[in-house]
Amino acid sequence: MNLPETDTSLFKRLRFVLVGTSHPGNIGAVARAMKTMGFSELYLVSPRFSDALTNPDAIAFASGAQDILQAATIVNSIDEALLDCHYVAAVSARLREFSPPILSPRQLAAHLSQSTQKSVALVFGNERYGLPNEIVVNCNALINIPANPEYSSLNLAQAVQLLAYECRVAEVDGEVDKLSAQSDIGFQGKTASLNEIDGMYTHLEKALVTIDFLDPASPKKLMPRLKRMFSRTQLETEEVNILRGIAKKIIDFKG
């Protein structure tokens, strides 16, 4: 599905920042991971090799995502990379005693997709040392990928892939919701009110008593179970009316 990429879309607002990356191959693989998920803004803070963006390994691992490498920005400090970012999340394999609030990738993606901040960033650490504490404490959130506790350190580009994927899914789902709210795409009826649903339950109960499916002297948990099931479905007015129509037919038929 092609969704419009407006300036407010997360695809345009989210920046990926790699701090002190050692292996140019990883930088290329990050570019590829980002592009497959529709993101393009890449910043490198002091990569180990100054030719990181043109290094043969970087180019080979980027595969068809060389445009992301060519457009990437190399800076000397984290402050330069985060200039005009309004929300920054540190992505770290290690939890720390003093850290910003910890979020899962999915929670972060939902937050970013719903946010209206013009620029937001994800910051990733070096392959061996991770992110320095000074950077983590200044971030708005710490993102930890809930991996195998006995072996929890992912390859840098795979960590980027996972975050980019979660952000894409959250953004695409959000766009679909917005589109269907604005138009008739993906029909959505009026959500039934509690009153309407209550009336339907009464009607349905009466019908079930009529056909002896429900014994009023010993109702057990039938109605609570049915209510629980319907409460998971976000009933619409039209659907409530259909169920009432069925209940009415049952009552008329028996009566």
147 binds ligand SAH (CB under 6 A): yes
CA gap 144, 93 in Å, rounded: 6
Closest CB to ligand SAH among residues 78, 207: 78
130 binds ligand SAH (CB under 6 A): yes
Closest CB to ligand SAH among residues 153, 210: 153
Closest CA relative to residue 127, chosen from 230, 24, 245: 24
236 binds ligand SAH (CB under 6 A): no
Subset of residues 154 to 173 that bind ligand SAH, contact rule: CB under 6 A: 154, 156, 159
How many residues bind to ligand SAH according to rule CB under 6 A?
A: 18
> C-beta of 129: minimal distance to ligand SAH in Å?
6
> C-beta of 88: minimal distance to ligand SAH in Å?
13
> C-beta of 137: minimal distance to ligand SAH in Å?
15
N residues, the chain: 255
Query: Are 81 and 121 a contacting pair, CB within 8 Å?
Result: yes
Closest CB to ligand SAH among residues 116, 148: 148
25 binds ligand SAH (CB under 6 A): no
Closest CB to ligand SAH among residues 157, 235: 157
Concatenate the DSSP letters of all residues of 176-225 into one string: HHHHHHHSSSS---PBPPHHHHHHHHHHHHHHHHHTTSS-TTS-TTHHHH
42 has which bridge partners?
A: 16
93 binds ligand SAH (CB under 6 A): yes
Closest CA relative to residue 127, chosen from 153, 152, 151, 147: 153
Q: How far is CA 192 from CA 189, 241, 255, in A?
A: 9, 10, 29
What's the burial of 211, exposed, middle or buried (CB within 10 Å: 0-12/13-18/19+)? exposed
**Residues binding ligand SAH (CB under 6 A):** 91-94, 124-125, 127-128, 130-131, 144-145, 147, 152-154, 156, 159
